[in-house]
A and B are shown apart, each in its own frame.
Chain A
Amino acid sequence: RKEVEQDPGPFNVPEGATVAFNCTYSNSASQSFFWYRQDCRKEPKLLMSVYSSGNEDGRFTAQLNRASQYISLLIRDSKLSDSATYLCVVSGVNFNKFYFGSGTKLNVKP
């Protein structure tokens, strides 16, 4: 079983739509959680860290559910520039390793 699992998509949505991604992780001892975005053939860039209390950054909201071991990302009012692959990332104990999901591809259409 993979440490982090994501729906690969693609999610094809019109501009202005709200879209949600989920990700599940297998190790209950996982320490920190993140969403990164990766544009084609570029490096991943941190979108946001994810906390149990939930956190919001503009149009983006992330949530962590430790009991069910899943992480979510909600994007409101999608823009064309949001088109990218979104990576769910989970750290091991003491940051000895970071586990990356295979990514969820988002295409925002005009």
Chain B
Amino acid sequence: EAGVTQSPTHLIKTRGQQATLRCSPISGHTSVYWYQQALGLGLQFLLWYDEGEERNRGNFPPRFSGRQFPNYSSELNVNALELEDSALYLCASRSRGDTQYFGPGTRLTVL
């Protein structure tokens, strides 16, 4: 069974640009969570999507947004990029159970 996949692996942008990150959950999983992990820091919750709807968001500004598609894949958009947005962005999926499974992440660098 394929795991959670994310693309791209690495992304380099400049300040003020927009970044789009993609996540495909494990087959059959309807929930997708997005996290930000800045270098040397813990995981910070960004967004939760379930059944196509945004269910919860963390303490991040509105320029962090996303959506979930009918096939349960998800997209995270970060507008007006700032230097401090440089981080590893992790996506995790969950089925009806309580366990999350993580993708390999997208490493975003903002120059």
**Quick one: closest B residue to A34, CB to CB?**
B99
Contacting B98 at CB < 8 Å: which of A32, A41, A99?
Answer: A32
Is A91 among interface residues, defined by CB-CB distance under 8 A?
Answer: yes
B interface residues, how many (CB within 8 angstroms): 23
A49–B100 CA distance with the chains assembled, in angstroms: 11
**Using Cβ atoms and an 8 Å threshold, which residues of chain B touch A97?**
45, 48, 56, 58
Is B33 among interface residues, defined by CB-CB distance under 8 A?
Answer: yes
A106–B101 CA distance with the chains assembled, in angstroms: 22
Known A32-B98, A42-B104, A97-B58; contact A103-B42, beta-carbon cutoff 8 A: yes
Tell me the dominant secondary structure on chain B's binding face: strand
Known A95-B31, A97-B48; contact A43-B42, beta-carbon cutoff 8 A: no
B43 & A41 in contact (Cβ 8 Å cutoff): no
**CB of A98 to closest CB in B, whole Å:** 6
User: Total number of A-B contacts with CB less than 8 angstroms?
Assistant: 47
**Quick one: closest B residue to A33, CB to CB?**
B98
Chain A contact residues (Cβ within 8 angstroms of B): what range?
A: 20 to 34
**Using Cβ atoms and an 8 Å threshold, which residues of chain A touch B92?**
98
**CB of B88 to closest CB in A, whole Å:** 7
A43 & B94 in contact (Cβ 8 Å cutoff): no
Known A44-B102, A45-B102, A95-B31; contact A100-B43, beta-carbon cutoff 8 A: yes
Known: A43-B105, A46-B101; 17 extra A-B contacts, CB below 8 A, are: A31-B98, A34-B99, A42-B105, A43-B102, A43-B104, A49-B99, A87-B42, A87-B43, A91-B98, A95-B98, A96-B55, A96-B56, A97-B48, A98-B33, A98-B45, A98-B100, A100-B42
